[in-house]
């Protein structure tokens, strides 16, 4: 706690930043981008040869700004100033778009250090977002992040690699800041669980898989099994409109619904993997 906080001149905590970025968060993310990304790319003061930074600028101009690459300055430091000018004039969502573009580059740049430091900044400045699987996602605490990342990383068990695909799709649909698709995010999350059980048992549906767990040597408490059945039943409910055609009277899923189901299904995958490693290695 700082001196100003102790004497009541500054609040002890900030409000969670959901649809805004304050100056501390904006400055912090720029420092991360500058220190752990831009400064790591070699620059030239002249136009005698094409630098690594110029190559990066070409990608940025072409894929992100989507403007003619012949407008790039021959002086890399001038180009960096233009990037800085864009960043500090951008809207909050555009800053996250920019950050997401950088961490997602499939070029010669290792972005792991940027991701680690940016996530730390997002946390200490009370952002409602974190970088998960190279996407800026609306997940607000460390436990949630770790649960989803662990489930995504469980694709090391090749037998359930389809689970990872469904969870990744669910995360992408939840994280789309322009057109979030909560209904299909929920559907993908549930499909991950169905894929896991079907793979473990060899059955064609989740219902059949749940009925043969014991005979397949898969240990699962009866109450937990009932919980899986009820979650699947929720998505098959016509009022939810998740796995059925949308009827006139249905409950439109919200962000909180999709986030909850993603976290729940991620935790379920992690639990199944941990309990049944012998069956899926």
Cα 264 to Cα 258: distance, rounded to the nearest angstrom: 10
Q: What is the pLDDT of residue 171?
A: 84
Q: Which residues of 233-244 are buried (b: 16+ CB within 10 A; e: fewer)?
A: ebbeeeebbbbe
Dihedral angle over CA of 109, 112, 115, 121, nearest 10? -110
Q: What is the pLDDT of residue 14?
A: 60
Cα 33 to Cα 30: distance, rounded to the nearest angstrom: 5
What pLDDT band is residue 32 in, cutting at 50, 70 and 90? very high
pLDDT at 150 over 80: no
- Measured over the CA atoms of residue 156, residue 157, residue 158 and residue 161, the dihedral's sign is negative
Please state, as a whole number, how many other Cβ atoms lie within 10 Å of the Cβ of residue 105: 16
Q: Which residue has better confidence, 266 or 160? A: 266
Q: Which residue has better confidence, 127 or 87? A: 87
Q: What is the pLDDT of residue 147?
A: 76
Tokens for 79? 């180009």
Condensed to tens digits (0 to 9), the pLDDT of residues 154-177 reads: 654 545 667 888 888 888 888 776
pLDDT at 7 over 70: no
Condensed to tens digits (0 to 9), the pLDDT of residues 89-128 reads: 999 999 999 999 999 997 667 789 999 999 999 988 878 8
Which conformational region is residue 245 in: left (phi greater than 0), alpha (psi within -120 to 50 degrees), or beta?
beta
Three-state secondary structure call for residue 251: coil
Q: Average model confidence (pLDDT) for the chain?
A: 82
CATH 1.20.120 boundaries in the chain: 142-280
Please state, as a whole number, how many other Cβ atoms lie within 10 Å of the Cβ of residue 50: 11
Cα 172 to Cα 170: distance, rounded to the nearest angstrom: 5
Q: Which residue has better confidence, 41 or 151? A: 41
Three-state secondary structure call for residue 153: helix
Three-state secondary structure call for residue 127: strand
Strands (E), the chain: 130-132, 135-137
Cα 14 to Cα 12: distance, rounded to the nearest angstrom: 7
Q: Which residue has better confidence, 142 or 206? A: 206
pLDDT at 207 over 60: yes
> What's the CATH number of domain 142-280, 1.20.120, 1.20.1740, 1.10.3470, 1.10.10?
1.20.120
Q: What is the pLDDT of residue 113?
A: 93
Q: What is the pLDDT of residue 16?
A: 66
What pLDDT band is residue 24 in, cutting at 50, 70 and 90? very high
Q: What is the pLDDT of residue 15?
A: 65
From 95, 124, 100, 105, select the one nearest 2 (Cα to Cα).
124
Q: What is the pLDDT of residue 254?
A: 82
- Average pLDDT of 242-266? 75
Q: What percent of the chain has pLDDT over 70?
A: 80
């Amino acid at each position: 706690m700082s001196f100003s906080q102790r004497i009541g001149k500054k609040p002890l905590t900030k409000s969670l930043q959901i649809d805004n970025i304050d100056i501390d968060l904006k400055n912090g993310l720029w420092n991360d981008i500058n220190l752990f990304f831009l400064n790591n790319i070699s620059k030239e003061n002249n136009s005698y040869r094409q630098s690594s930074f110029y190559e990066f600028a070409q990608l940025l101009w072409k894929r992100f700004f989507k403007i003619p690459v012949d407008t790039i300055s021959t002086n890399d430091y001038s180009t960096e100033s233009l990037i800085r000018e864009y960043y500090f004039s951008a809207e909050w969502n555009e800053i996250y778009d920019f950050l997401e573009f950088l961490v997602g580059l499939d070029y010669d740049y290792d972005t792991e250090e940027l991701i680690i430091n940016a996530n730390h900044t997002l946390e200490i400045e009370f952002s409602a977002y974190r970088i998960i699987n190279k996407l800026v996602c609306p997940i607000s605490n460390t436990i949630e992040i770790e649960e989803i990342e662990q489930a995504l990383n469980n694709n090391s068990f090749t037998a359930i690699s389809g689970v990872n695909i469904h969870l990744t799709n669910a995360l992408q649909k939840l994280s789309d800041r322009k057109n979030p698709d909560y209904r299909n995010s929920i559907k993908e999350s549930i499909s991950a669980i169905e894929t896991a059980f079907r793979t473990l048992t060899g059955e064609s549906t989740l219902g059949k898989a749940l009925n043969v767990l014991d005979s397949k040597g898969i240990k699962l408490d009866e109450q937990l099994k009932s919980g899986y059945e009820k979650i699947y039943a929720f998505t098959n409910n016509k009022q939810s409109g998740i796995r059925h055609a949308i009827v006139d009277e249905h409950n439109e899923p919200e962000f909180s619904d999709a986030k909850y189901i993603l976290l729940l299904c991620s935790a379920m995958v992690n639990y199944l993997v941990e309990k049944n490693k012998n069956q899926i290695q």
